[in-house]
Amino acid sequence: FALGEEDAALQQEIFQFGMRLGEAVANGDAAMWLGPMVEGSVFGMGMGGVSVGFGPGRKQDTGVALLPRAPQLVLPVSAPALCLSSASEQRKDAWKWINFMLEKTPPLGLPVRVSLLTGAEEVLAQPEHAAVAQALGEHVQEAVCLPAFNVAAQRVGTAIWKTWEGEPLDEVLAEAAERLESDLEARAKRRTQGE
């Protein structure tokens, strides 16, 4: 996603945050939530770790949100993908993010097929995790298909950075929702003027 010159400081801040997140994910200290993804994509840090790079000819973009300090439970699907915290104490926060993104960026309704990654069965064997996985499987289509995600990625990345630094989730979500709504309105206005 592209930021304006006035957002240069924010861009650098998010980039540094993304570099730290790379280590957190590698160490298993964070779980990732991904927007639309196509097979053969290559994860890239991009600007702040909130983008996914695609090979030549691929035009779909996406973004990443992190749920801090939680083990990973990955539920991939045929085209989009979704990762959700599997730690029971993180479930409430995880679903807040899912619901927040659903509310602000309505689903496209892309067809999906849910399947489990090898090794996830051990996690799902625990009752509190199995319930989350079942709910996720039932709603994964609505959760992963996000239009205008290059706009949402910036705001989600900033919001996650704030929660990682210890700011209250509810306050961060409220601010992110307001900013994202403003971004999407401005984008729609520019598109209308362009026509």
pLDDT > 70? residue 193: yes
Q: Average pLDDT of the chain?
A: 44
Q: Is residue 195 part of a domain?
A: no
Q: Is residue 194 part of a domain?
A: no
Q: Which domain holds residue 183?
A: 5-189
- Identify the sign of the CA torsion 9, 14, 19, 23: positive
Q: Which of 69, 67, 73 is nearest to 120 (CA)?
A: 73
Domains in the chain: how many in total? 1
Q: Is residue 17 part of a domain?
A: yes
Confidence category of residue 105, pLDDT binned at 50, 70, 90: very low
